[in-house]
Amino acid sequence: MCGIVGYIGKKNGAIPVIDGLKRLEYRGYDSWGIAAKDSGRIDFHKQVGKIGAFELAKDLPEFSGNICIGHTRWATHGGVTEANSHPHFSCDNKIAVVHNGIIENYQELRKNLEAKGHKFRSQTDTEIIPHLIEEKLKEKHNLPSAVRLALKDLEGSYAVGVISQDDDILIGARKGSPLVLGIGNGEFFLGSDVPAFLKYTNKVIFLDENQMAILDQKNQSYKIMDVNTNKQLNPEIATIEWSLDEAEKGGHPHFMIKEMLEQPYVIEKTISVEANELKKAASMIKSAERIYIVACGTAMHAGMYGAYIFALRNNLIVQTISAGEFPYFEHLISTNDLIITVSQSGETADVLEAVRSAHRSGAKVLSLVNVMGSSLMRMSDMFLLTKAGPEICVLSTKAYVSQQAMFVMLSATLAGDITAGKKILQIAKNDIAKILKLMSLDKIKKLAREIATVPNIYAIGRGVNYPSALEGCLKIKEVSYIHAEGFAGGDLKHGPISLIEPGVPVLAFVANDGSDKEILSNAMEVKARGARVIGISFENNQVFDEYFPVAANGVYTPISAIVYTQLIAYFIALEKKLDPDKPRNLAKSVTVK
């Protein structure tokens, strides 16, 4: 949640900061703001709404400064107002702070600060931070020391950027929320995610928990300190291999359609994953007494699919648990257990807490994660990098397919036949490419126009297709705001069939995996009650009112089948004139609990 960008160097930092905020708008778009130190003072600008249409040269031509911080907000504490927008300031307006995360003890801290005479201008938890720093400065600490001591008073999560009217430095720090340091030529950047500054440098340091970066303009230097011990650290500089083009729209109207079109390439990259890495991960799975897959949202559905594949192809019983619920099972986890976590960002707060919970119990953690250097990657005992590349749209599409594909490769490795996994994914890749051909989209667009105004949409599937029913409906509800709900076909008669009424669309996922007769029977049951049955199947059937074909790929059919629901969701959003990249109330990376 929320995006942070910072710059310190010799040029007008407002330019890269505004540019970075636009690239991070997927993290938060309720409001935004920027602060810059210029000629010994801090200027700032805040406004409610999205930053995408803002042009610095036209809308704020005089705004400049060599030391800048910016923030795009997803509201947690306080409404969407200019006053609640970041940056926030100390009483004397000399300290400006941007913040991502949640300060859990902010009410207590605010009460104490108010008793000392501090006046607050917002409803946010963030505003206590500049006031705390101001209080520490009164005790004759320098700015880095004051920031460090203020951070030690905070409970909860934070990534912060701090500038001061009286100092030519920029400070960034993190605990529980991501923050990356970009190292340029005589200039430095801060960002919640690499795309914020990838245009300017691909040399980065991923700040770890309780680390603080002190960036010095005069000396063109940086120091990384431990917030708790005040010891200087020497972390490695990583080189990011993503190109800027991979994080741009590439001529497409939205990131969502661009990222869907990249899915064949994503599978191609997964096919080429290192065999040695797969074998190491497979060894962890083989040696585990019990295995749990832990994730949230779309990644959870990918994990459910993985659990079915492990059961059907590897005779493994794997339990899937929502990451937010996993800590309640901590007392049952043992040192012989393996937790497989799945995450696109690697910064999801509930997933990271699940990892901590697993480690407290002595269990090992294997992660499937898309972002190099992410918190999850570094916290895990082993990780496999999924091959989606940067995913900017709030809705996950190509990351989901990459996670499914990685589970296929893991399953094939466990079975001792990696080549078979590659052949399976080649079929899925070719099928997705066929689905995405422009000539096949007209039928999907027509369906989207016809169902864009319905109040409810349902989906059914059995076995490996059940996660598809859940994920397909999640995509539709996320981007179109239509109530959409997925069910296991066998559960229909246990309550959900009461929801079926004439004309309601029902997506039926059908694969040649042995469950086709049963799910077609379920489709007939809803058809008999007036439903409009939309078949996503390896073959046509008379029960379908509309038919969308997929390759007969057995239990691996869902990898290509899900693309239809991604496209349906996208075109419904366009029909309703909604922004598919930035659906309301959602953020790309859920870094708060």
Alpha carbon distance, N-terminus to C-terminus of the chain: 10
Question: Are the C-beta atoms of residues 347 and 375 closer than 8 Å to each other?
Answer: yes
Question: Which of 134-148, 234-248, 304-318 has the weakest average pLDDT?
Answer: 234-248
How confident is the model over 482-508, as a mean pLDDT?
93
Last residue of a domain, one of 381, 402, 436: 436
Tell me phi and psi for residue 265, to 5 degrees.
Answer: -65, -40
The per-residue pLDDT for 589 is 57
Question: Are the C-beta atoms of residues 538 and 518 closer than 8 Å to each other?
Answer: no
How confident is the model over 235-259, as a mean pLDDT?
79
Degrees to nearest 5, angle at CA 342 with 340 and 345 = 140
Strand partners, 510: 537
The one catalytic residue in 437, 577, 588, 593 is: 588
CA 318 to chain centre: 24
Q: Do 240 and 257 sit in the same domain of this protein? A: no
Q: Do 298 and 342 sit in the same domain of this protein? A: yes
**pLDDT per residue over 112-124, tens digit each?**
999 999 999 999 9
Q: Do 280 and 408 sit in the same domain of this protein? A: yes
Last residue of a domain, one of 436, 456, 486: 436
Check which CATH number belongs to the domain holding 510 and give it: 3.40.50.10490
Q: Is 220 exposed, middle or buried (0-12, 13-18, 19+ CB in 10 A)?
A: middle
Using a pLDDT cut of 70, give the percent of the chain over it: 96
Tell me phi and psi for residue 129, to 5 degrees.
Answer: -65, -50
Q: Which residues contact 465 (CB under 8 A, 6 or more apart)?
A: 509, 510, 511, 513, 515, 519, 557, 558, 561
Q: Do 205 and 337 sit in the same domain of this protein? A: no
Q: Which residues contact 306 (CB under 8 A, 6 or more apart)?
A: 293, 318, 340, 342, 403, 404, 407, 410, 411
Last residue of a domain, one of 220, 246, 272: 246
388-405 residues labelled b (16+ CB within 10 A) or e (exposed): bbbbbbbbbbbbbbbbbb
Q: Do 330 and 351 sit in the same domain of this protein? A: yes
**HEC profile of 121-167:** CCCCCCCHHHHHHHHHHHCCCCHHHHHHHHHHCCCECEEEEEEECCC
Q: What share of the chain is helix, strand, coil (3-state, %, to 5)?
A: 40, 25, 35
The per-residue pLDDT for 221 is 93
Does pLDDT of 30 surpass 90?
no
The per-residue pLDDT for 249 is 67
Pairing of strands 456-461, 505-510: parallel
User: Closest Cα partner for 573 from 447, 510, 498, 481?
Assistant: 481
Question: Are the C-beta atoms of residues 557 and 571 closer than 8 Å to each other?
Answer: no
Q: Do 150 and 230 sit in the same domain of this protein? A: yes
Does pLDDT of 52 surpass 60?
yes
Q: Do 461 and 426 sit in the same domain of this protein? A: no
How confident is the model over 524-538, as a mean pLDDT?
95
Q: Do 414 and 461 sit in the same domain of this protein? A: no
Q: Do 39 and 140 sit in the same domain of this protein? A: yes
- How big is the chain, counted in residues? 593
Distance of alpha carbon 505 from alpha carbon 473, whole angstroms: 11
Phi-psi region of 192 (alpha: psi -120 to 50; beta: other; left: phi over 0): alpha
User: Closest Cα partner for 73 from 63, 58, 62, 83?
Assistant: 83
Q: Which domain holds residue 571?
A: 438-593
Degrees to nearest 5, angle at CA 303 with 300 and 309 = 150
Question: Are the C-beta atoms of residues 97 and 126 closer than 8 Å to each other?
Answer: yes
Per the model's pLDDT, the better-predicted residue between 515 and 244 turns out to be 515
Asked about 588 being catalytic, the answer comes back as yes
The one catalytic residue in 2, 68, 393, 473 is: 2
Q: Is 116 exposed, middle or buried (0-12, 13-18, 19+ CB in 10 A)?
A: exposed
Strand partners, 520: none
Distance of alpha carbon 322 from alpha carbon 343, whole angstroms: 12
Distance of alpha carbon 78 from alpha carbon 127, whole angstroms: 11
Question: Are the C-beta atoms of residues 563 and 436 closer than 8 Å to each other?
Answer: yes
Check which CATH number belongs to the domain holding 136 and give it: 3.60.20.10
Q: Do 432 and 445 sit in the same domain of this protein? A: no
3-state secondary structure of 587: coil
How confident is the model over 173-193, as a mean pLDDT?
92
In the structure, what pLDDT confidence band is assigned to residue 267 with cuts at 50, 70 and 90? very high
Distance of alpha carbon 359 from alpha carbon 344, whole angstroms: 21
One-letter identity of residue 16: P
Degrees to nearest 5, angle at CA 370 with 364 and 371 = 95
Does pLDDT of 130 surpass 90?
yes
Q: Do 445 and 413 sit in the same domain of this protein? A: no
Question: Which of 23-32, 55-64, 168-177, 382-391 has the weakest average pLDDT?
Answer: 23-32
Quote the mean pLDDT of the chain: 92
Q: Do 291 and 304 sit in the same domain of this protein? A: yes
In the structure, what pLDDT confidence band is assigned to residue 269 with cuts at 50, 70 and 90? confident
CA distances from 426 to 334, 411, 416, 420 (A): 38, 16, 18, 10
Pairing of strands 211-216, 169-175: antiparallel
- Residue 67 in tokens: 């030391």
Q: Is the dihedral of CA 83, 89, 94, 99 positive or negative?
A: negative
Distance of alpha carbon 464 from alpha carbon 478, whole angstroms: 22
For 74-127, where are the E strands, in sequence order?
A: 88-89, 95-100
Question: Which DSSP string do the residues of 480-537 spell out, in sequence order?
Answer: H--EEEEEEGGGGGGTGGGG--TT-EEEEEE-SSS-HHHHHHHHHHHHTTT-EEEEEE
> How many distinct structural domains can be found in the chain?
3
Distance of alpha carbon 52 from alpha carbon 254, whole angstroms: 13
